[in-house]
A and B are shown apart, each in its own frame.
Chain A
Amino acid sequence: MGLFSNWDLKPRDYDKIVDQKLPNAEKVLNESQYDTKLGLNMARDARKVINGSMKIDDFHKVYSSSLTMEFGSYYASDTPDTKKTNKGPKWVMVIDLQKCIGCDTCTVSCKAENRTPPGISYNVVMESLEGEFPNIKAMNLPRPCMQCDKPACAQVCPTRATYKMENGIVVIDNDRCIGCRYCIVACPYGARSFDFGDSYEQEMTGYNDVTSPEYGVERGERKKGKTPIGTVRKCSFCFHRLQRGEEPACVETCIGDARFFGDINDPNSVVSKLAASPRAFRLKEELGTQPSVIYLR
């Protein structure tokens, strides 16, 4: 390192430091009773497997014969089953309407979490009264995005900017969306909103300082003409929170504990059990959209 060189350590420099601290692989392996060369080669290829330039199946193919020769009956490993038997989670929300008290906490926490501008609420509670006084019944129906299995919005999007992920969430690629609003028209649940660029800056200083990291994309300051302004927005089951291992904001803050969130692929999960209840129903099921939000009546 010279006088004028940059004193910041680069990743390569850390590698060097680590290499210095590591024991000499050849020396260590020589001390063992097994083949040194085989060990070194396997270590090299194992790194390739980890960085993705080699398939695990190929790794096993190359080494299984020499490993059997070396270790004999002690070697018992076979190629791991890489075919997907477990597809990973498919997120589902269950909302127990008997527990919902209509406090709108979910709406507020959603607004705070996703920093949605005026006129946009990913989650609303639809309140209605049934019957005639005095025999009335209040009905609270929280409505996030249904994350349909057959989403009408994704069907009509001309640019494939909105699509269904394997984990069940219908996402919007705000960098691709042209803002034609066809999806808003086509959504039978009114779950989509257009970002007209309004702001709470007048009422709340610092509102524009940061955009919610929806879908895990950091967008920084909210500015005129900057994405997601001019595009369509919707509930993402708080995907950015799921990535951190947290539940969606509405589920976490629900006062009556009316919302449940989990993996429907796991038959033992709470949501799977609740979804099997005879109380379970979904909104506008006749449209064939197959929502992932299940209500308990």
Chain B
Amino acid sequence: MSNLALKLEHKSTKSTDTKVFKIWISALTVAFLAGGYFIVERMITGLSATNLSSITPWGAWIAFYIFFVGLSAGSFLLSTLIYVFGMEEYERIGKAALFTAIVCMIVALTFVLMDLGRPERLMNAIIYWNVTSPLGWEVHFYLVYIALLMVELYIAMREDLVRAANTNTLKGFVARLLTSKNSTINTLTKKRDHMWMKILGTIGIPIAILGVHGGTGTIFAMVKARPAWNTAIFPIIFVVSAMVSGTALLLAMYVIKRKVQKKPIDQKMIISLSKLMAGFLIIDLGLQFYEYLTGWYGLEIEHLDTLATMMASDLSWSFWGVQMFLGAVVPLTIVFWKKTNQNINALLVAAILIVVGIIGVRFNIVVPSLIVPVFHELPWGDYFPTVKEWMVSVGVVAMGLLIYSIGELLLPIEETSEEVSHNGK
């Protein structure tokens, strides 16, 4: 009798599960279609759909692009903590981290595509590669990085794929497509997979740190025309804030998913992950402090103007409100205050706030520096994203979430076995 009750309960959770999933997917589809309209419009009318100008040539889309590159690099580096450095306590989110990294890169590159004046010529950056251009290098790094992530995700999923191939579900069908007939799981393959994960993760670390995210930081740091960007610490801040946002995003996604599925949450992992996230955030804040201090102390007029635009202008709500208060003060309080630091809901709020805060960080990197003109006599920029820019962004993000949701439906990304495999040991 009790067995029957258990079974019934299982069934009912499953049906609510699919219901929630359907609502989620249809909401995303609506958002994607609404954004898609503006994406098509932008492709037809060109960049006049934006508030950009020759004074402020980069705006929201570039901010979102570096935000998603950061999320990707951050979640990948978190996955290396698991697969390379053997932090098994986070293994539950290992594959999700890799898949998130891939989807974030796709979203980031779509934002770049949206931002190009001539999107149809995108391939020129590969055909006519200029080796002195940080951006030229980045395009290549991104492609190598995405390829590496895909291989690594495949290997991480291989065991689950082989297991799923025997089932008669949609997942099983996809798994049969992706695996050969005589794939097996035994100690030998476990060892081999584990070795490859370690090798690929190790190759991936320098690519992610130096190439993808540090590299994206150099796109800005190399620009001597903009003193607020042109510092050696800039790429490092990029990498660290990538770690912050990546950890926060994975924490939030794990908790939300588990809550929706009504599955038990690994509280110990969440708490330790939140400490890791707070640690990264504190390092990030420290680096930023020195960055602003040197700029301010240098008394260079353009640098001061940029800092003033960021911290004491109409746009300063983005710095003080989003980046500092919501993105740093509140989450740090939650993580370290005794009353909240064991509460999963509070930690979830902290993680989401950090992700939002990092969006603010990215906007505050791109926009203030470009509002200040290169000569004092030239007109100042006046930039705030148009509705069209926001809608295109919504569409692109919805596309990314759709890819993620469908991918999770088709691939064994969630840890299926209750027992964590402990690195194949």
CB–CB A119/B54 < 8 A: yes
Which of B115, B118, B132 has its CB near the most chain A CB atoms (within 10 A)? B118
CB–CB B116/A178 < 8 A: yes
Contact A159:B136 (CB < 8 A) given known A119-B53, A179-B47, A287-B225: yes
Contact A196:B130 (CB < 8 A) given known A185-B225, A189-B374: no
In the complex formed, the residue of B with least CB distance to A230 is: B117
- A67 located at the interface, meaning its Cβ lies under 8 Å from any Cβ of chain B in the complex: no
- B290 located at the interface, meaning its Cβ lies under 8 Å from any Cβ of chain A in the complex: no
CB–CB A230/B58 < 8 A: no
Contacts of A193 in B (CB 8 A): 54
CB–CB A156/B222 < 8 A: yes
Q: Which of A11-19, A71-79, A88-96, A120-128 contacts B (4 or more CB under 8 A)?
A: A120-128
Contact A194:B47 (CB < 8 A) given known A120-B54, A158-B135, A185-B226: yes
Distance (Å) between the CB of B253 and the closest chain A CB?
Answer: 31
Contacts of B130 in A (CB 8 A): 157-160
In the complex formed, the residue of A with least CB distance to B53 is: A119
CB–CB B378/A194 < 8 A: no
- A197 located at the interface, meaning its Cβ lies under 8 Å from any Cβ of chain B in the complex: yes
- B10 located at the interface, meaning its Cβ lies under 8 Å from any Cβ of chain A in the complex: no
- A184 located at the interface, meaning its Cβ lies under 8 Å from any Cβ of chain B in the complex: yes
Residues of chain B in range 51-84 having any CB-CB distance to chain A below 8 Å? 52-55, 57-58
Residues of chain B in range 126-155 having any CB-CB distance to chain A below 8 Å? 127-130, 132-136, 139
Give the docked Cα–Cα distance between A129 and B129 (Å).
45
Contacts of B125 in A (CB 8 A): 158-159, 178, 180
CB–CB B117/A185 < 8 A: no
Set A180, A187, A287: member contacting B115, Cβ < 8 A: A180
- B217 located at the interface, meaning its Cβ lies under 8 Å from any Cβ of chain A in the complex: no
Contacts of B136 in A (CB 8 A): 157-159
CB–CB B124/A196 < 8 A: no
Q: Is the interface of B mostly helix, strand, loop or mixed?
A: loop
Distance (Å) between the CB of A167 and the closest chain B CB?
Answer: 21
In the complex formed, the residue of A with least CB distance to B112 is: A180
Contacts of B133 in A (CB 8 A): 155-158, 182
Set B45, B52, B121: member contacting A176, Cβ < 8 A: B121
Contacts of A141 in B (CB 8 A): 377
CB–CB A126/B122 < 8 A: no
Residues of chain A in range 247-286 having any CB-CB distance to chain B below 8 Å? none
- A198 located at the interface, meaning its Cβ lies under 8 Å from any Cβ of chain B in the complex: yes
CB–CB A230/B46 < 8 A: yes
Give the docked Cα–Cα distance between A125 and B259 (Å).
62
Contacts of A176 in B (CB 8 A): 121, 124, 128
Give the docked Cα–Cα distance between A190 and B57 (Å).
11
- A107 located at the interface, meaning its Cβ lies under 8 Å from any Cβ of chain B in the complex: no
In the complex formed, the residue of A with least CB distance to B131 is: A160
Contacts of B132 in A (CB 8 A): 155-156
- B297 located at the interface, meaning its Cβ lies under 8 Å from any Cβ of chain A in the complex: no
- A186 located at the interface, meaning its Cβ lies under 8 Å from any Cβ of chain B in the complex: yes
Q: How many cross-chain pairs have Cβ atoms below 8 Å apart between A and B?
A: 133
CB–CB A190/B55 < 8 A: yes
Distance (Å) between the CB of B70 and the closest chain A CB?
Answer: 19
- A115 located at the interface, meaning its Cβ lies under 8 Å from any Cβ of chain B in the complex: no
- B219 located at the interface, meaning its Cβ lies under 8 Å from any Cβ of chain A in the complex: yes
- B376 located at the interface, meaning its Cβ lies under 8 Å from any Cβ of chain A in the complex: yes
Binary CB contact string for chain A from 15 to 59 against chain B (1 if under 8 A, 0 otherwise): 000000000000000000000000000000000000000000000
Contact A194:B374 (CB < 8 A) given known A155-B133, A161-B124, A185-B223: no
Contacts of A188 in B (CB 8 A): 224-225, 374
Contacts of B219 in A (CB 8 A): 182
- A225 located at the interface, meaning its Cβ lies under 8 Å from any Cβ of chain B in the complex: yes
- B48 located at the interface, meaning its Cβ lies under 8 Å from any Cβ of chain A in the complex: yes
Distance (Å) between the CB of B88 and the closest chain A CB?
Answer: 41
CB–CB B47/A196 < 8 A: yes
Contacts of B373 in A (CB 8 A): 190
Give the docked Cα–Cα distance between A158 and B117 (Å).
14
Distance (Å) between the CB of A249 and the closest chain B CB?
Answer: 20
In the complex formed, the residue of B with least CB distance to A180 is: B116
In the complex formed, the residue of A with least CB distance to B138 is: A158
Binary CB contact string for chain A from 130 to 153 against chain B (1 if under 8 A, 0 otherwise): 000000000001010000000010
- B370 located at the interface, meaning its Cβ lies under 8 Å from any Cβ of chain A in the complex: yes
Contacts of B135 in A (CB 8 A): 156, 158, 180, 182
Distance (Å) between the CB of A171 and the closest chain B CB?
Answer: 14
Set B53, B55, B118: member contacting A179, Cβ < 8 A: B118
In the complex formed, the residue of B with least CB distance to A289 is: B224
Distance (Å) between the CB of B136 and the closest chain A CB?
Answer: 4
Give the docked Cα–Cα distance between A181 and B223 (Å).
13
CB–CB A231/B118 < 8 A: yes
- A177 located at the interface, meaning its Cβ lies under 8 Å from any Cβ of chain B in the complex: yes
Which of A157, A187, A195, A224 has its CB near the most chain B CB atoms (within 10 A)? A157
CB–CB A181/B117 < 8 A: yes
Contacts of A182 in B (CB 8 A): 133, 135, 219
Give the docked Cα–Cα distance between A192 and B55 (Å).
9
Distance (Å) between the CB of A128 and the closest chain B CB?
Answer: 5
Set A124, A180, A186, A287: member contacting B117, Cβ < 8 A: A180
CB–CB B223/A186 < 8 A: yes
Contacts of B224 in A (CB 8 A): 152, 186, 188, 287
Set B57, B124, B128, B139: member contacting A185, Cβ < 8 A: B57
Contacts of A192 in B (CB 8 A): 54
Contacts of A177 in B (CB 8 A): 117-118, 121
Contacts of A179 in B (CB 8 A): 47, 116-118, 121
Contacts of B116 in A (CB 8 A): 178-180
- B337 located at the interface, meaning its Cβ lies under 8 Å from any Cβ of chain A in the complex: no
CB–CB B375/A190 < 8 A: yes
- A97 located at the interface, meaning its Cβ lies under 8 Å from any Cβ of chain B in the complex: no
Sample (13) of A-B pairs whose CB atoms are under 8 Å apart = A119-B53, A126-B377, A156-B134, A159-B129, A161-B128, A176-B121, A177-B117, A179-B116, A180-B135, A185-B57, A188-B225, A194-B52, A196-B52
Beyond A152-B224, A185-B226, A190-B55, 16 extra complex contacts between A and B, CB < 8 Å? A126-B375, A152-B225, A159-B125, A160-B130, A161-B124, A176-B124, A178-B121, A180-B125, A181-B58, A185-B58, A185-B370, A187-B225, A188-B224, A188-B374, A224-B46, A231-B117
Task: Return the 9 tightest CB-CB contacts between A and B, nearest first.
Answer: A179-B117, A126-B377, A158-B136, A188-B225, A230-B117, A181-B57, A193-B54, A158-B135, A184-B57
